Amino acid sequence: MRIAPRWMVFGCLFLAAWGPGTAGAHPPLRPATAPSPAAQAPRPALAIRLTPEGDGVRAVVAINYLVKPDDIPRFEGVRFYTYTVPANGQVLPVGYAGRPGEARLAVLLAGKRYTYAPAWMDRQENGSLSVTKLADGVYHLRGVYAFPEQLFVIDARLAAGEGLLLVEDGR
């Protein structure tokens, strides 16, 4: 049995789909319509929760991709990442470290540099986070978190166990 090269298989499928004698014909054009909300591309979203742990906090980051316009980020994400961050205001890099020799980009928040490596593909999520304890069970979370084609800048006060939900708003 002889196996046909790929171009021959494609050519046979092409002819089978179009049929003989239709070499110059094109399928009928459909009128342009606006995409329905259900057909829109998924929007990236982030859910973050802080839990006290020793002298710091455990930050759980859930990455979501929202499809419907009324979807909200939640802790049922595509992926979860857990980081232990000291609660003393120190900026801590988290996640993917970047390519060797590649410079990290920075965002200034309240006089501190929060760096991140550009994420070029899936599973390169990264950033920098800092947590400051304000009162019993209340924390100030600042930082940046990047994943492909998206950068979230975070500046929020959270109670222990409370979730922070971030979503791209299209602006």
pLDDT tens digits, residue range 46-102?
889 999 999 899 999 988 777 777 776 666 656 888 999 999 999 999 998 888 888
pLDDT of residue 98: 81
Flag whether pLDDT at 138 surpasses 70: yes
Q: Which pLDDT band holds residue 32 (cuts at 50, 70, 90)?
A: very low
> Would you state the structure tokens that stand for residue 165, as one six-digit string?
């939900």
- Judge whether residue 29 has pLDDT over 70: no
Residue 43 to residue 68: CA distance in whole angstroms:
9
**In the predicted structure, residue 10 carries a pLDDT above the cut 70:** no
Query: Rounded to whole angstroms, how far apart are CA atoms 77 and 27?
Result: 41
- Cβ within 8 Å of residue 27, ≥6 positions away: none
Residue 12's pLDDT is 40
Other beta carbons less than 10 A from residue 46's beta carbon: 22
- What average pLDDT does the chain have? 77
User: Quick one: tokens of 110?
Assistant: 């309240």
What element of type H or E holds 8? helix 6-18
pLDDT beyond 80 at 142: yes
Q: Give dist(CA 109, CA 118) in Å, integer.
A: 18
pLDDT of residue 77: 59
Q: Model confidence at 118, in pLDDT bands (50, 70, 90)?
A: confident
Tokens of 155: 């500046």
Smallest Cα–Cα separation from 107: which of 142, 157, 57, 136? 142
Q: What is the pLDDT of residue 79?
A: 81
Higher pLDDT, 73 or 10: 73
pLDDT at 63: 83
